[in-house]
Amino acid sequence: MENSIYKLIEIQYRNYKPQYPDFKISYETVGYFSSIANAEQAMKNKIGRYRNPPFGFWIKEQVLDLLEGEAMKSKRSYLSDGSLWDVWNALELRDVDSWVRFNGRSEDEMRFNSGDIVEIVLEYEEVVVLGIALLTPPTIEEAKEDGFPLDYYYVSPYYVGYNDNGSYIHYHEAPIDLFPPRFPVSDELQKKLKDAYKNIPKEKYSEFIED
């Protein structure tokens, strides 16, 4: 039987007054736990002591005796109040450079619709940027028709435009790393993102899936 540990990570604001279109974040490993329930209790205990809540939390389930890049079995994201936002599960443990088949998301598992404004957590860059969802992950029915679907949203960041090769600037982001906006979004930023969403030709969408 696999032995899992649960790593609780607090996502912290690096600026005293974060604001859009982007802001810095940092991470603190709160601890390692034997169960999700224990990790969630530790998270709630921390939240209860805050005057100002953090950005949010992750709980990463990692299997013992595997390398770091191969060991993550599941990941859960939580909002600043400790409520569960999304869950990602690996269908099987894999080598870091291989892909795992994705069986699609049900309607209830879709956190955003195409055209929604979102916060994009760029984990390794330690920054949150405002963006807009262009394409949602495949549904269960779409995944059955696709030989190799992936659990990604296609999102455009606030610095919308085209790359040097003529492709539209976008990210492939896992749903677990997208959050709802928590601060007011200015009319100017909303217009910029909504205009980008409306102006991207639908035929360009195939580029997002292929690159």
Which segment of 121-125, 127-131, 155-159 scores lowest on mean pLDDT? 155-159
Per-residue pLDDT at 182 exceeds 70: yes
95 belongs to a structural domain: no
Per-residue pLDDT at 211 exceeds 60: no
Same domain, 56 and 123: no
Higher pLDDT, 39 or 200: 39
Distance CA 210, CA 143 (A): 16
Give the residue-averaged pLDDT of 66-91: 82
pTM of the model: 0.85
Give the residue-averaged pLDDT of 136-159: 79
173 belongs to a structural domain: yes
* Residue 96: per-residue pLDDT: 45
Q: Quick one: three-class SS letters along the chain?
A: CCCEEEEEEEEEECCCCCCCCEEEEEEEEEEEECCHHHHHHHHHHHHCCCCCCCCEEEEEEEECCCCHHHHEEEEEEECCCCCEEEEEECCCCCCCCCCCCCCCECHHHCCCCCCCEEEEEECCCCEEEEEEEEECCCEHHHHHHCCCCCCCEEEEECCCCECCCCCECCEEECHHHEECCCCCCCHHHHHHHHHHHHHCCHHHHHHHHHC
Give the residue-averaged pLDDT of 190-211: 74
Same domain, 110 and 204: yes
* Residue 188: per-residue pLDDT: 94
Q: Which of 91-105, 166-180, 192-206 has the highest mean pLDDT?
A: 166-180
For residue 175, whether the previous peptide bond is cis, meaning omega lies within 30 degrees of 0, is: no
Number of domains comprising the chain: 2
Structural domain harbouring 193: 103-211
- What does the pLDDT look like over 9-64, one tens digit per residue? 999 999 888 999 999 999 999 999 999 999 999 999 998 787 778 999 999 998 87
* Residue 28: per-residue pLDDT: 94
Which segment of 27-31, 70-74, 196-200, 206-210 scores lowest on mean pLDDT? 206-210
* Residue 99: per-residue pLDDT: 47
Same domain, 125 and 165: yes
Higher pLDDT, 169 or 174: 174
Distance CA 85, CA 48 (A): 19
Higher pLDDT, 8 or 65: 8
- Domain end position, chosen among 58, 90, 122: 90
Q: What is the dihedral of CA 209, 130, 103, 75, to 10 degrees?
A: 130
